Structure 1
């Protein structure tokens, strides 16, 4: 055999070995990494819808606003009542101080002093109840603004201006968000292949527009696909990856390269 033939044959063997050693592609499906349905936490009429479908929103951005006027009026009433009760607390405190002085001088009976103490305590309790009520109203006022809990994209919207919403009523959520640029490739593996991947392992995810680096973030402990006679049980494996600036269609096929 000539030297050139030997070199060519050796190179071919090495190339075939490299091909055999390459990662094996496994079929998978693209899913959202994080998805959440948002609803109003308080009842009220929708006064503003500030997003549209497929819009990207930053964490903390106001998405939907409910009419705050009823709660604002309630806040004014409770503030006025709190001022009155605060003045009463001050008056009862002064009266209690005088009663204690008179009692020390022997000019006031113990029964009268006890009545002054009770009146002061009752006024303080009434004032505290109003303060707590004001805090609750303030909390409810803040909830009239539905905000994005994380950087997201709006994938579903079921709300109209003027619509009355009640969190206690059974209905569809106001809107649904998905974490922006973050996806998972969902594999379905038989138990004999689960050992091929480990949590935290870096794998290549190949979508229709190219490869991306991914990380194994979840391995199911129970079968994710119902087992039929003669077929092995399949377990879900999630490989998280990012697609910066490029929205992928959930449910489309992809591949994960497993060594």
Structure 2
């Protein structure tokens, strides 16, 4: 009798545990998407990637025609070099004027003029440095580089396209990190109340389960159904090496 009682208790606990688990159907999403746009007007010289291509941080995605930007950098460098020469000359004139003033050969007004010229030369050199830095930034803006390791989600530009920075309705390139993915499900408010961010969860893809955790809980409802409002519930998990996952693939989510 005692053995039967223990077996019955075990079965009751197993049933209770099974009932505590929440099984959900969901789909895959990127953790985030970054829309890439250029910051300068110009003509596209090279698009180095295609949709579905994996990239490393710093890889070239797109390059605009750089001839004008490079010419502006060279002009700024020449201005800076000229300003440095004039600054050195003004410094020498100031030293010479100070020596002549100390010997009583020139008036104080001439020494003050030399000081003002040296100050103006220093200011001109600093302004030339600022122009060179600005032109260098403008040159950098003619390229789009991958901000992180990831995958090219979309490409909306081709070689020879004329781009105006104020008229870019679509992003030129969309990139997403693919080392992690989201499993997203629609749930009711009652389910959300029993879930906490960081809580462990399991995601099953093509019959293979992997560990994940609750990433975010929906705040605003997606829509309202007969059963009530439904919200997004996101589970994040690591992508395995060599694994090819795409958004909208169906998955199973298990919450303890």
TM-score range, shorter chain: 0.7 to 0.9
Judging changes above 3 Å, is the alpha-carbon distance between structure 1 residues 15 and 55 closer, same or farther for their aligned structure 2 residues? farther
Provide the rounded CA distance (Å) in 2 between the counterparts of 1:195 and 1:187: 15
Cα deviation code 1:155-193 (max 9, x no counterpart): 110111111222222321111111114211223333332
Q: 1:246 aligns with which of 239, 243, 248?
A: 243
Provide the rounded CA distance (Å) in 1 between the counterparts of 2:213 and 2:66: 44
Provide the rounded CA distance (Å) in 1 between the counterparts of 2:65 and 2:102: 57
Check conservation: 2:200, 2:255, Cα contact below 8 A: no
Provide the rounded CA distance (Å) in 1 between the counterparts of 2:243 and 2:207: 9
Cα deviation, residue 209, structure 1: 4.5
Q: Which residue of 2 is the match for residue 202 of structure 1?
A: 200
Cα deviation, residue 88, structure 1: 0.8
Please list, as runs of the form range in 1=range in 2, the aligned pairs for 1:1-259 lying within 5 A after superposition: 14=10, 17-22=13-18, 23-220=21-218, 222-227=219-224, 231-244=227-240, 245-259=242-256
Deviates more, 1:16-25 or 1:70-79: 16-25
Q: RMSD of the alignment, in Å? A: 2.5
Cα deviation, residue 90, structure 1: 0.7
The TM-score normalised by the length of structure 1 is 0.87
What SS does the aligned partner of 1:83 have? Answer: helix
Cα deviation, residue 20, structure 1: 4.4
Check conservation: 1:181, 1:246, Cα contact below 8 A: no
The TM-score normalised by the length of structure 2 is 0.88
Check conservation: 1:227, 1:233, Cα contact below 8 A: yes
Structure 2 unmatched ranges of 5 or more: none
| Residue correspondences, number | 253
